[in-house]
């Protein structure tokens, strides 16, 4: 019945992540047993930490908000044949830009908030423009450049904060209320979690990615260049321009992810001793979500839930949060090894025939 409703390729795209999640959970349970922990108690605490309380639900949605946008940044670049490993750096720069606008300007909320979010998007887009330009003009591999620019973003942001925005507490001043995504209503509904209106922006980002790639002629060009640059150039498409545009849009998504942290979760930016990790988690989210807008949203819920639920596992079941990281790593491993799962599925089908 399911095979009649979904094409074979689409069905496998749905089945493989589910199998990967199941295998990651099973092997994670085995590791818990070997380590002397009760996997049933541990996973029960994990699930309770996600669905058992409105506070945890609010924190899960709050946690998945920047993950969605970081995942969209990776997925958009991948759909156009590029590997954007610099989402973390683009996120940091977007975070800084949005917070600066939130502090420096005094405008009505209906103007100030969109301008602050747009500032984050533009800063991330600028950080994506550089590796895009180097790739298009000089054929420098984007993976190397984006990795290097993560560190440049981290230390540049810290230097700017120390020189111009530093206040007691190793951070910037708090943003003006007119630039805040915080919602007292949503917080009260979720037992005063840190849930904010940013999740609406993240869902809108999913729609924007889908619309650009699948409902516009420019999106068709971007995907065509990703499939085959030589054929696209022969067809009259400007390959270099599309590469730069792809990295700019991808960086824009990452910059908005940073804005969600600066304008929603925290309301300021601290001196960072290291990477936030959200940008790198976005790579895993895009991989698990098969680089589709809906898949990224669902994968973000899983990762956000695991991150929040891990704290409950530690407090109620005594399971270290590192074991949840192991489960996440196992899920990523099995998704990355999806060809093995596909091979097993095909062999089983042949034996049934």
**191-228 tens-digit pLDDT:** 999 999 999 999 999 999 999 999 999 999 999 999 99
Q: How confident is the model at residue 3 (pLDDT cuts 50, 70, 90)?
A: very low
Tell me how far apart the alpha carbons of residues 5 and 175 are, in angstroms, rounded to a whole number: 49
- Report pLDDT for 320: 86
Q: How confident is the model at residue 10 (pLDDT cuts 50, 70, 90)?
A: low
SS3 182: strand
- Report pLDDT for 349: 65
Q: pTM score, two decimals?
A: 0.92
- Contact between 247 and 131 (Cβ < 8 Å): yes
Q: How confident is the model at residue 5 (pLDDT cuts 50, 70, 90)?
A: very low
What mean pLDDT is predicted for residues 330-341? Answer: 75
- Contact between 89 and 226 (Cβ < 8 Å): no
Residue 102 has pLDDT above 70, yes or no: yes
Q: Which helix (H) or strand (E) holds 41?
A: helix 39-51
Residue 8 has pLDDT above 80, yes or no: no
Tell me how far apart the alpha carbons of residues 255 and 97 are, in angstroms, rounded to a whole number: 9
């Amino acid at each position: 019945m399911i095979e009649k409703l979904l094409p074979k390729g689409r069905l496998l795209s749905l089945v493989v992540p589910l199998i990967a999640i199941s295998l990651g959970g099973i092997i994670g349970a085995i590791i818990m047993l070997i380590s002397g922990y009760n996997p049933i108690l541990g996973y029960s605490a994990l699930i309770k930490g996600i669905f058992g309380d409105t506070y945890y639900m609010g924190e899960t949605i709050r946690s998945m908000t920047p993950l969605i946008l970081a995942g969209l940044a990776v997925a958009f670049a991948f759909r156009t044949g590029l590997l954007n490993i610099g989402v973390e750096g683009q996120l940091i720069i977007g975070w800084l830009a949005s917070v600066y606008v939130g502090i420096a300007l005094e405008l009505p909320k209906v103007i100030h908030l969109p301008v602050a979010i747009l500032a984050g998007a533009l800063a991330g887009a600028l950080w994506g423009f550089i590796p895009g330009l180097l790739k298009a003009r000089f054929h420098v591999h984007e993976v190397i450049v984006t990795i290097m620019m993560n560190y440049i973003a981290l230390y540049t942001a810290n230097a700017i904060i120390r020189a111009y925005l530093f206040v007691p507490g190793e951070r910037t001043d708090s943003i003006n209320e007119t630039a805040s995504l915080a919602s007292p209503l949503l917080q009260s509904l979720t037992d005063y979690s840190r849930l904010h209106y940013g999740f609406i922006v993240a869902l809108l980002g999913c729609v924007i990615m889908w619309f650009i790639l699948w409902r516009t002629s420019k999106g068709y060009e971007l995907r065509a260049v990703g499939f085959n640059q030589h054929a696209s150039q022969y067809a009259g498409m400007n390959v270099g321009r599309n590469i730069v545009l792809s990295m700019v849009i991808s960086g824009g998504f990452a910059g908005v992810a940073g804005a969600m942290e600066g304008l929603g979760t925290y309301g300021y930016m601290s001196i960072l001793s290291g990477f936030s990790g959200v940008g790198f988690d976005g790579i895993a989210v895009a991989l698990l979500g098969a680089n589709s807008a809906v898949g990224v949203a669902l994968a973000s819920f899983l990762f956000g839930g695991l991150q929040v639920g891990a704290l409950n596992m530690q407090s109620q079941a005594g399971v270290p949060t590192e074991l949840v990281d192991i489960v996440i790593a196992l899920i990523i491993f099995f998704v990355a090894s999806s060809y093995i799962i596909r091979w097993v599925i095909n062999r089983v089908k042949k034996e049934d025939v």
